[in-house]
Structures are given as C-alpha cells and as structure tokens.
Structure 1
Amino acid sequence: MLNNKPIWPILAATLGISLTACKILPTPSGDSGSSTAFNPDKMVEEIWVAKVVPYLQRKAGPFAEVHALAKTDPASAGAKYGNPNKQANSPWTFAVRVEGKIIAANTASRAATMDIDVDGDGKADARVQIGPAMRGTALRDSLDFIQFNDFTNQIDFAQFGKAFNAYADKAVLSKLPREALEGRTAKVLGAYTLESGQDLPLVAPAEAEIGPKR
C-alpha cells in the first residue's frame, strides 16, 4: 500500500512503460533447411566443383613465377594471378600451382603444414597447409566472383571464408597421407595472400596430391 492506495496499478504502469521502450528482436533460426538461413558450408559445397576449382585452374600460375612478380610488382601480379575486384585496402591474394619436393612437414599440430622446394635448391619456397585447421581466407579472397558487398555483414563474410577452409579439409586434405612426408613429391593448386613478415608464403590448397619419394 502507498498512501493507502494499492501499488499494483503503479507497478503495472511502470512495467508497461518499460516494455514499450524495448524492442524485442527475433532470434535468427539455426535451421539449415530454411531457405532464408545463412549456411556458408552449403554455399561453398554448391560452388566448389562448378566454380571454385575451375577458376583456380584457369587463374593459377607456377608458384616461382607468381611469387617473383608479386614481390616486385604486386599490382601486376594481382591483375594476372589475383583478384582485381578485391577491396582496396586488402592485401593481394594469388592463385598458384606449387609442385616440388617436401623438405619438411609438421603434422603434430592441427594446423599441419608441409614445406615445398619448387626449384630444386634444397630450400623451402612455399609452406602448404594440410589441415585440419587452416589459417587465413586465401581461397575465398582469390575468387573474383566473391565480393564483400554480397554479404549482410562482416561476420557472414568471415564465416564464408572459414567455410572454404573446412570444405577443403573435408574434400581434399583429410585424404592425404600424414606419415613420412619428407622427400616425397607434392602437387598443389591453391592460393596465398601476400603479407609482410611471413617466414614462407602460406598456401591454402583446393587440390593436393602427394607422390613418391624422388
């Protein structure tokens, strides 16, 4: 009681004001069967064979050739081997073919890699990711038919980039041998991003094959 008056009407009025001042937003559905739900894994799976791999096969150049040009003239290398439609402030990403001898491999980490000598001098020229965890979004960023403005927000765009890595692992990398890799040959089709401070260019594969020792 307040001044001999029931307090319930006052509380109800207060609650009514609070509720009308709040906007209750619907929770996005996680149902992958919904036609409106954002499903990056399904999107990547649908374009992988039809668009992604054929694009990289057309665009890719030999790693040594691409990287030599990228270090001296990134814009020219980007026009020929990269994505000219990239965001202006983004680094160049190039489609490449890496072929050579595996001289080192790290398979103890989930972010496993193998170092490839492409010119036969006994030194590693490129580091190829073999999963299951992969860093970066080079596969997404190498494609000129994928644009940031096609997505609702930065989060969706980032998830789409991760979906490429997950699909590459499922379709390609998980099938590769993991034992006694050093000394064997490797052929890879993929992409890498030109970044400063890299020990070796880090290639994300869309196709990969491990051959015999040579």
Structure 2
Amino acid sequence: MLNNKPNWPILAVMVGISLTACKILPTKSGDGGNASAFNPDKMVEGIWAAKVVPYLELKAGPFPEVHTLAKTDAASAGAKYGNPNKQANSPWTFAVRLEGKIVAANTQSRAATVDVDVDGDGKADARVQIGPAVRGTALRDSLDFIQFNDFTNQIDFAQFGKAFNSYADKTVLSKLPRDALEGRGAKVLGAYTLGSGQDLPLVTPAEVEIGPKP
C-alpha cells in the first residue's frame, strides 16, 4: 500500500538548497518598497566614489608598463594590475593610468573616441572612449570585489557592467570638450581588456582630463 503522506522535510531541504545557490547584491528601491530590488544604476552610484575610484587609483599602473607586461605575461599583469578573481574563461582586464597627446579624434560617432600617443613618437598607443555610447565592461571587470557569483544570472551581471559605463558618461565623459581635440593633452584613469593585439587597446575612463588647445 502506497504511503500518501507528503515528504515535507525533504521538500523543505530542497527549497533551502535552491535558495542558497543563487545570490544577488541587494539595494534599496527608490520607493522604499522591496529592499532587494535589483537596480544596477543605484548600485554603481553607491560604490563609485567610495570603492571604485579608490580601487582604480590604488591598482592602476602606467599604461606602457602594464601593456608591455600584458603582452608577454598576461597572468602576471592581471595579478598585479587586474582582477585575479575573474572567471577562468574571461580575458584579462587591467587598471591603468594613461597620459599623452591626442593624435586623432572620432567624435562623429556616438561611440566617440580619442587616440592617444603615450610615448611621444607621434603614433597612437591607446584609444580612449569618451561616449556617450561606451563599449564593453572593462570598468566592472577590473574590480576584484565584483564577482559573477554575486548575481542572480548573466542578465543582471551584464546590466551591472553597462551601468558603470552609463555612470561614467553621466558624471565624467559628458563634460569633456568635443571640438579641436587633436594636439591636446589627455590624462586618464581607467581600465582596458586585453584584446587580440590587432587593434589599439580600448580604455574606458573612470576619470579623464583633456588639456587646453595647443
């Protein structure tokens, strides 16, 4: 004869396991309602000045030094200037300081950029994003206190990465000049992801200064 009693203890254990298997970074909702509502823009705003910029200031190395090491030993460069806790299949991302002269500018596109000569040879060494559209998730990926497993799913993690770009544009990039950029000096604190080596390294700024017209 079958036992028709429900297995409540077993079910409770299974539910408990499933709940602990997924995490989310909590943030208070704007209306004071659900305290765990996912709001990536508010999350980035809350940590930007207190954690993100200080981390980059501490971790960043001079671009020439970082990039030279990254091309020969990416893991060593990542341990020193990047996020050693990254997902194993993800490319290395490095925090950098970059200073040089703007030798080319593309401000016609929404994904505007400036090319910067760092070593004084007249050729671009890095490309810096100046928005408003910003590609990639380099700022998020350079931070060792941000981990994929802290999020419910890939969609939330991706939205969090885009929120860094939006906040950088709103607070920093949107205030930059757009005219007569060639020949001006540029100072950048930001991050870039190691690519295939075919294109200029694409740096996403957290802080950037553009000097006066020459």
Cα distance between partner residues in 2 of 1:198 and 1:93: 17
- Whether the aligned pair in 1 keeps the contact of 2:180 and 2:213 (CA below 8 Å) is no
Q: Which residue of 1 aligns with 2:125?
A: 125
**1:25-79 deviation per Cα after TM superposition (whole angstroms, max 9, x unaligned):** xxxxxx7533221100000000000000000000000101100000000001001
Give the match's secondary structure for 1:163.
helix
Cα distance between partner residues in 1 of 2:86 and 2:198: 21
Q: Which residue of 2 aligns with 1:111?
A: 111
Residues 1:50 and 2:53 are matched in the alignment = no
Q: For residue 86 of structure 1, report the CA deviation from its aligned partner.
A: 0.3
1:84-99 to 2 correspondences below 5 Å: 84-99=84-99
Query: TM-score, length-normalised on structure 2?
Result: 0.84
- Whether the aligned pair in 2 keeps the contact of 1:185 and 1:210 (CA below 8 Å) is yes
Give the RMSD, CA atoms, in angstroms: 1.0
Query: TM-score, length-normalised on structure 1?
Result: 0.84
Cα distance between partner residues in 2 of 1:71 and 1:197: 8
1:189-204 to 2 correspondences below 5 Å: 189-196=189-196, 198-204=198-204
Give the match's secondary structure for 2:211.
strand
- Whether the aligned pair in 1 keeps the contact of 2:188 and 2:208 (CA below 8 Å) is yes
Give the match's secondary structure for 2:166.
helix
Residues 1:69 and 2:41 are matched in the alignment = no
Q: For residue 213 of structure 1, report the CA deviation from its aligned partner.
A: 4.1
Cα distance between partner residues in 1 of 2:37 and 2:157: 14
Moved more, 120-129 or 33-42: 33-42
Cα distance between partner residues in 1 of 2:193 and 2:130: 16
**1:158-213 deviation per Cα after TM superposition (whole angstroms, max 9, x unaligned):** 00000000000001000000000000000000000001154100000000000124
Between Structure 1 and Structure 2, whose CA radius of gyration is higher? 1
Q: Which residue of 2 aligns with 1:146?
A: 146
Instruction: Give me the identity figure in percent.
Output: 85
Gaps of 5+ in 2: 1-28
- Whether the aligned pair in 2 keeps the contact of 1:32 and 1:39 (CA below 8 Å) is no
Residue identity matched to 1:41: D
Give the match's secondary structure for 2:203.
strand
- Whether the aligned pair in 1 keeps the contact of 2:126 and 2:203 (CA below 8 Å) is yes
Moved more, 88-97 or 197-206: 197-206
Query: Post-superposition, which runs of at least 4 consecutive aligned residues in structure 1 deviate over 6 A?
Result: none
Gaps of 5+ in 1: 1-30
Q: Which residue of 1 aligns with 2:14?
A: none
Residue identity matched to 2:97: R
Q: 1:198 to 1:172 in 2, by over 3 A?
A: farther
Residues 1:41 and 2:41 are matched in the alignment = yes
Give the match's secondary structure for 2:66.
helix
